[in-house]
Structure 1
Amino acid sequence: MAKISESVIEQIKSRLTISEVVSAYVNLTYRGGRHWGLCPFHHEKTASFSVLNEKGLFHCFGCGKSGSMFDFVMEMDHLTFGESVSVLARKAGVELREETPEDKRKRTESEALQELYDRLTNSFRYILQNSDRAAHARRYLENRGISLEIQEKFGLGYAPAPSQWLYDFLTDKHYSASLLEASGLFSKRNERVSIFRDRLMFPIRTWQGKTVGFGGRDLTGESTAKYINTPETAIYSKRSVVYGLYEALSELKSRKHAILCEGYFDVMAMHQSGFTTAVAPLGTAFTTEQCKQLHRYCDSISTLFDSDAAGQNATGKALVICQDMGIENNVMLLDHAKDAADVLEKNGSEALGKMLENKTPGFEYLVLSAINMYDVKTPKGKSAVFSHVRSYLEATDSEIERQTYIHRLAEILHVDDASIVEDLHHRSSAQETRKKAPETSPVSIPNLARVSSDMFLMLCLATKREEFPVIRNRINVADLEDSLAVDLFTLLEDATRNDLGKTDEVFLQMIDDERLKQLVAISFQSGAFGHNLQKGIDSSLDRITLRKFEKKKKAMEDILGFAENETPDENSSEIRRLVLDIQEVNQEIIRLRGRLGAGVEE
């Protein structure tokens, strides 16, 4: 990444508060001088994620994640620092400077793809509404019972049948061949042939409402793939997008509850029937990334997957993911119907609404499903039922909740609670390595009160970096024993020599070690190193100097002992010199101890 002008960082910070940025992802409430919300980086039920506008930093007291608004956007949207600056600069209306050619190429391509997909959404929509060639698509929607209001809400469109129509349409709009190749809209075998031909088009939108992909439903009846989606592109990752989230967002924020369906038509059928928090994964596989997105806005999820084997298998996996995230979960069941869209088409909205009045708690659903599959009168059947619900039990964070489930399962299987507990603890080696924390290795939360004198000094200097050029003349890096403090000293030296890191955000980006980065970020947010800064610096320097003199005294005493053994004459010049040197060092030690007033923290 080329150096980003620090004036750009300052302009962004002057126009945006970190709470504005974070609140687009997390519901925040203000109390005690800062904003609080559920951490988006790990599952929790009590808000431990704090945002402090005065410092421009966030910190989670649960998982230890800390940083600036740029770090937050990097984590949430999987961006580099440069990309996060670009995102926030656009949001703040700040002009960017100093990008690398590669950064600029990627940004330009992403922006061009975004504009292309947004334009196509409008074009496909216009064709569906107005073109004679889309008449059969309009009849299809009418037969499926999808109202015009819902069609408009979800931006439905139509892609014409001619294989090269889309290519000709876009080249006439002056889109380059390279961009069309990167768009995911065309066949890899023939760059002019669209993968979407005679298909009903479903825009796949981010939570912000930007179209990043399409789903297409075949209307010919001849394709082996009834539904196809845009492949992965620079702006689209199937694992990270939730279909219908944008359309459901306002209701999700107020109701705190999502209904997880299987497909496009199911989501639309639910919204049409008044269940306006319905969303869907793109395919039956509900991912952890998608669950994290939903958890920003809701604390309970109901699944409503198809009643076939694939749908029920997906239900079980989704329940475990929700339980692992600490989200209340249950299952909606449709009697004698395959899916919500089928009920809407055949029986209408009112019938669908009545069917969905009852919910089955997630654990109860898994147990009942297992009982229907296995003979619980036999030992093997009982073991199979346990295996079926085991992942859910392991995903349960609350010991009270887990014990309740174990007791209920023991009653059903007519076994002792202890038997289930014993089996649960006999995990395979693969299950032993499973972690409930975020997918990346968790970083232990550093305790500022217990840092070494070395680190205390370096954190003081990181907080007030303009003091470093003066202080570095009073200390040598060799005097530091704490390896992380040595790393921070080196970073401060690099920042000083290269005129970098004048803002906290840029300085944090210079730190590669995650634990050190967390420590520095926490020190920035806490403000602990901003009070009586000079006193803290002087005290730390005295402690480090005291430690150096004590080590020196010990080494000199060892040499003196050796010299006395080798030369018994107390008047030898070497022994006299050593004694005098030790006395001088001891005077320094006494002086430093007196100034510190108490012993050394080591």
Structure 2
Amino acid sequence: MIEREKIDEIIRQTDIVDLISQYIQLRKVGKNYRALCPFHTERTPSFYVSPEKGIYYCFGCKKGGNAVSFLMEYEHLDFPDALRRLAKNLGIEIDTTKNLKYKELYEVNELATQFFNLALNKEIGKKGQNYLKERMIDPEKLKDFRLGYAPTTGGLIPFMRQKGVGIERLIQAGLVSQNREIFHDRIIFPIFNLSGRVIGFGGRGIENYIQPKYLNSPETPIFKKGEILYGLFQAKESMRAKSEAILVEGYFDLLSLYQRNLKNICAPLGTALTENQALLISRYAKKVNILFDGDASGIKAALRAIGILLNTQVSVHVAMLPEGYDPDEFIKEKGSSAINDLINSAPDFFTFYKDIAVVKTVEDEINLINELVQIIGRIQDPVRLDRYLKYASRVFDIPVDVLRKKMGMETSYKKEAPPSRSSRTTTNPEEKLMTLIINNLEYFNRVKELLSIDDFKDAKIKTLFEILLKREDFAVQELVDLDIDEELKNRLLASLIETQKLDEEEFVRSINLFYKKNIMRHKLKQKISEAIKADDTESLKKYKELLKS
């Protein structure tokens, strides 16, 4: 396990503003930086970063943390992988494998990947080799995908037994069900997370009688198919470099294009595109070209994907394949230049939607306009929203104010109200005191002179104060990783973002003021209650006088 001191050193040395600026545009506001939140859609910035304290917090979605938690959330990384990334940036060498959560599941999936890959390349995998050859898929050009084959006769269970892996672990990894291997006579597509670890598998049946034709691993603690895209690990750097992504529907569509050098490509895992998947794409690309099958179901899937992608504020274009073609068939028959031309000339979502609609009557046109306005209404960027509304106004010869009214908007945009201050800061006096202390940790020796553990009545705050007493080198960023109540942690992060540091004299005065006004007041009320119960009129009078003073 990595020493706590090493983790703290990496977090403290990381410039959180430099880190987050690599992903989103930050604007300086006073001592902090502000931006539109990368974790939810909004029009008014509510995401703040404090370089002084090394933390961030969004007052909209209530997500906050330090450099490690930002990378984990944004890049979908495990703690060890995020920490290793930060350490590498700082030139620090660390071994993170021991800290990996669900380490055994990753190890089982890695061994399974080795088994399937070995099977494909041996005599037992001849059937798989021939199938890939028929599909014009060259595993040599796709080594990063580590394609495999699950033999008809199985073999995974005995292979794993030789490696010391029992049935229970195979069941947990989703590779075995009711003591039977899940994949038989299938081409195997290992599915990678964004760190490059195998988290699950897809399988394509070679024979027509094998049903379902495509089969994915069941969901496990490390595999949620609605939260990852096939090929994204291999494609993310190409997407980032081009700021553009190609979205296809299936495994073979992706592999066929990738091996022909279209590498900024990814695919949902056999299901409709989800909001989480769209958000992932938007972190690497500002423009998405949808390249689905040229049939009715492909068009329907593209229409659904448009709305989901627009929610993530990317530019959406749709490359329309001729009817009867999928991307795999099209590139094999027409070649790479033809599909590149198709993608480069792909119309934006508005033109695509308008062109495919069948409009024979006025009612058809009204329905089309209503559907387009509903889609346009998903756009959060006010400039882009304004442009599309005006474009729709020209195309359909409708005043833009009518379209805005249809969307439930005013003629002029109303600025989205930021979260109210009352919802942003804590009202609990002891939480306010803890914010004051954590915000000025350099004066913690003075805190120990002025306060004791018994001065706190809130059990959660008392626990946190005990931690501070034990860890005198505590830093604000370390609050994020403490095993304390999450709601309390978020309230403290929000308060810490908003409050400024004090000089020592002002800090001591504030502590004393709080002590007199709150803690002493609370203690006197307790004394009064005790005096009433004991019928001690003299003490009761004394404590009441003190309470008034």
- Give the match for residue 214 of structure 2: 227
SS of the residue aligned with 1:346? helix
- Give the match for residue 449 of structure 2: 470
SS of the residue aligned with 1:425? coil
Alignment of 1:156-555 (within 5 A): 156-162=147-153, 164-186=154-176, 188=177, 190-191=178-179, 193-369=180-356, 371-372=357-358, 374-375=359-360, 377-379=361-363, 381-425=364-408, 457-463=433-439, 464=441, 465-472=444-451, 490=462, 492-493=464-465, 495=467, 502=474, 504-505=476-477, 507-508=479-480, 509=482, 512=485, 514=487, 517-518=489-490, 520-521=492-493, 528-529=500-501, 531-539=502-510, 541-542=512-513, 545=516
SS of the residue aligned with 1:286? coil
> Quick one: structure 1 residues 450 and 524, their matched pair in 2 at CA, closer, same or farther if it must change by over 3 Å?
closer
Judge which range, 64-73 or 114-123, deviates more.
Answer: 64-73
State whether residues 24 and 35 of structure 2, in contact with CA within 8 Å, keep that contact through their aligned partners in structure 1. yes
The AA in structure 2 aligned to 1:177 is I
Q: Distance in 2 between matches of 1:290 and 1:305?
A: 16
Alignment of 1:556-595 (within 5 A): none
The AA in structure 2 aligned to 1:409 is A
> Quick one: structure 1 residues 492 and 146, their matched pair in 2 at CA, closer, same or farther if it must change by over 3 Å?
closer
* Pick aligned residue for 1:9 from 4, 10, 14: 4
Quote how far apart the aligned CAs of 1:279 are. 0.6
Q: Distance in 2 between matches of 1:251 and 1:399?
A: 29
State whether residues 48 and 61 of structure 1, in contact with CA within 8 Å, keep that contact through their aligned partners in structure 2. yes
- Give the match for residue 141 of structure 1: 132
Q: Distance in 1 between matches of 2:94 and 2:161?
A: 31
Quote how far apart the aligned CAs of 1:145 are. 2.2
Q: Distance in 1 between matches of 2:76 and 2:422?
A: 24
Deviations 1:159-194 (A, max 9, x none): 1111x42222222322112101212112x3x31x22
SS of the residue aligned with 2:307? helix
> Quick one: structure 1 residues 413 and 523, their matched pair in 2 at CA, closer, same or farther if it must change by over 3 Å?
closer
> Quick one: structure 1 residues 177 and 137, their matched pair in 2 at CA, closer, same or farther if it must change by over 3 Å?
closer
Structure 2: give runs of 5+ residues left out of the alignment.
88-92, 410-415, 522-540
Quote how far apart the aligned CAs of 1:317 are. 2.3
Identity of aligned residues (%): 25
Deviations 1:454-492 (A, max 9, x none): 8764422233255444333699779xxxxxxx7985555
- Give the match for residue 598 of structure 1: none
- Give the match for residue 66 of structure 1: 64
SS of the residue aligned with 1:356? helix
State whether residues 27 and 37 of structure 1, in contact with CA within 8 Å, keep that contact through their aligned partners in structure 2. no
The AA in structure 2 aligned to 1:168 is P
In the superposition, the TM-score normalised over structure 1's length comes to 0.71
> Quick one: structure 1 residues 150 and 43, their matched pair in 2 at CA, closer, same or farther if it must change by over 3 Å?
farther
Q: How many residues align?
A: 512
Judge which range, 236-245 or 302-311, deviates more.
Answer: 302-311
The AA in structure 2 aligned to 1:538 is R
Structure 1: give runs of 5+ residues left out of the alignment.
98-103, 427-435, 479-485, 551-576, 589-602
SS of the residue aligned with 1:276? coil
> Quick one: structure 1 residues 394 and 388, their matched pair in 2 at CA, closer, same or farther if it must change by over 3 Å?
same
Quote how far apart the aligned CAs of 1:125 are. 1.9
Quote how far apart the aligned CAs of 1:443 are. 7.0
State whether residues 254 and 266 of structure 2, in contact with CA within 8 Å, keep that contact through their aligned partners in structure 1. yes
State whether residues 214 and 229 of structure 1, in contact with CA within 8 Å, keep that contact through their aligned partners in structure 2. yes
Quote how far apart the aligned CAs of 1:39 are. 4.8
Larger Rg belongs to: 1
Q: Distance in 2 between matches of 1:142 and 1:64?
A: 51
State whether residues 113 and 183 of structure 1, in contact with CA within 8 Å, keep that contact through their aligned partners in structure 2. yes
Q: Distance in 2 between matches of 1:423 and 1:525?
A: 39
SS of the residue aligned with 1:220? coil
Deviations 1:543-570 (A, max 9, x none): 78579999xxxxxxxxxxxxxxxxxxxx
Q: Distance in 2 between matches of 1:46 and 1:420?
A: 23
State whether residues 426 and 432 of structure 2, in contact with CA within 8 Å, keep that contact through their aligned partners in structure 1. no
Q: Distance in 2 between matches of 1:474 and 1:167?
A: 56
In the superposition, the TM-score normalised over structure 2's length comes to 0.77
State whether residues 124 and 151 of structure 2, in contact with CA within 8 Å, keep that contact through their aligned partners in structure 1. yes
